[in-house]
Amino acid sequence: MADKVLVTGASGFIAQHVTLQLLEAGFDVRGTLRSMRRAEEVRAVLAPRHPAAARIDFVEADLGADAGWTAAVAGCRYVQHVASPFPAVHPKDENDLIRPAREGALRVLRAAKAAGVGRVVMTSSLAAVLYGLGERRPAVADESSWSDPNGDDNTPYTKSKTLAERAAWDYVRGEGAGLELAVINPSAVLGPALSKDVSTSLEIPIRLMNGKTPAIPRLGFSIVDVRDVAACHVAAMISPNAAGKRFIATDAFLWMAECAAILRAEFPSYASKIPTRAAPDWLLKAMALFQPVYRQTVTELGRERRASSDAAKKLLGVTFRPAKSALVAAAQSLIELAVV
């Protein structure tokens, strides 16, 4: 019988790619969903891409409650804890984001420990590596860098990822000793969407291609392909030396102006919709006062955050696709799904 792997938040962008790669590697998969009403929807997305998707079983479990987690981890050798809130806009109270991320991670880890799970792989973020440091941030970060949740250039999201990951490491070094943990820290995740229920990170090509963005703000992102993020998760689960380690998953940093130029060249039929003018910084700051979606990014104006995925390449054996190809693959899938 194949080893069973629990994938939390199975309806999510990264989680679905992790699930497909686990099935391809011969593992059985169980997924958690906040509502079982989504089970057939998720199967319908995955089934055309792998025949074993029909055998996935689902358990209803929410990061904010204890119910369901004992059943979710029962009989699993591994857990892929991918679920975590990633809103498009700031919550009114940052604790509405921080609390479920931190307490949800601990719920999953405690349930895994009690069930005798061997290893948990947790999705964190570059948000837990490079934020709150101001100009003290490294020019190119590695896994030794940690975000300071008390620093000025934070958002509720970056705080939530930092505090959740810190709590996870504290747990396995304390009362959860004996449970193995590996953490993946991806940058902005692009690559092919599998359904119209798109990830927040896919807002980068969506906003550039939907004809509703009149000018390009001075923002940029380190980018990684979702398929390579999924490969990191699977490799970190089975690689003997991955336990106790963080792994940054990223490729190159691209300014939004560079992304726009790539998309105009690759998709000429969309060129008229893709902005060419630069938006002055003051405009985005003014818009952030009235449109919550921009508050997530206003602290990023003019900032470059670069990181190295050398550890994942060397220890996990993952080869990362270029950032440009991740962007193009994302855009192509969004066109095919009629999202843009």
Q: State the first-to-last Cα distance of the chain, in angstroms, to the nearest integer.
A: 43
**Which of the residues 4, 159, 161, 196 is marked catalytic?**
161
159 classed as catalytic? no
Q: Where are the alpha helices (DSSP H) in 89-225?
A: 95-115, 156-172, 203-209
CA-based torsion, 29, 339, 277, 289: positive or negative: negative
In order of 34, 216, 271, 304, the CA distances from 261 in angstroms are: 39, 11, 9, 19
216 pairs with which residues across the strands? 278
Indicate the pairing of strand 119-123 with strand 246-249: unpaired
Query: Residue 225: helix, strand or coil by DSSP?
Result: strand
User: Which DSSP helix (H) or strand (E) runs through 331?
Assistant: helix 323-336
A 10 A CB-CB count for 236 gives 28
Provide the phi-psi class of 119: left if phi over 0, else alpha when psi is between -120 and 50, else beta.
Answer: beta
Picking from 169, 193, 164, the residue whose alpha carbon sits closest to that of residue 180 is 169
Tokens of 336: 């095919």
Contacts of 236 (CB under 8 A, 6+ apart): 121, 182, 184, 242, 245, 247, 316
Tokens of 260: 């726009």
How many residues comprise the chain? 340
Enzyme catalytic residues: 161
